[in-house]
């Protein structure tokens, strides 16, 4: 999963408009959304909103829940093995 993919998923989790609401989507974005609609099953067509074409699928909801529950890293001291 690329940073772009995560960005798109979090956008659809929080925004009522499409990721590329200006009408133009670079090929990378179109390809990522296409994969998320198809084989990855992370997005669905959104029939409830007039301002966006896609929403998170159930799988996308579970995945973004998991992303948001990852704890922040902590620093720990350890003795290296000799």
Distance between CA atoms of residues 21 and 7, nearest Å: 15
Model confidence pLDDT, tens digit, residues 17-73: 888 866 677 899 999 999 999 999 999 998 886 778 899 999 999 999 999 999 999
**Minimal CA–CA distance to 45: which of 7, 12, 8?**
12
Residue 76 in any domain: the answer is no
Residue 13 in any domain: the answer is yes
The whole-number average pLDDT for the span 14-19 is 90
Residue 74 in any domain: the answer is no
Distance between CA atoms of residues 5 and 26, nearest Å: 14
Residue 19 in any domain: the answer is yes
The total number of structural domains in the chain stands at 1
Residue 82 in any domain: the answer is no
The whole-number average pLDDT for the span 1-24 is 89
Residue 81 in any domain: the answer is no
* pLDDT on residue 21: 66
Range of the domain at 21: 3-68
Q: What is the pTM of this model?
A: 0.83
């Amino acid at each position: 999963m690329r940073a772009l993919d995560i960005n798109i998923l979090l956008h659809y989790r929080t925004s009522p408009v499409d990721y590329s609401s200006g009408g133009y989507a670079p090929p990378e974005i179109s390809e990522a959304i296409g994969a998320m609609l198809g084989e990855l099953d992370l997005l669905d067509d959104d029939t409830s909103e007039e301002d966006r074409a896609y929403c998170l699928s159930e799988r996308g909801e579970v995945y973004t829940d998991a992303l948001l529950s990852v704890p922040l890293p902590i620093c720990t001291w350890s003795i290296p093995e000799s």
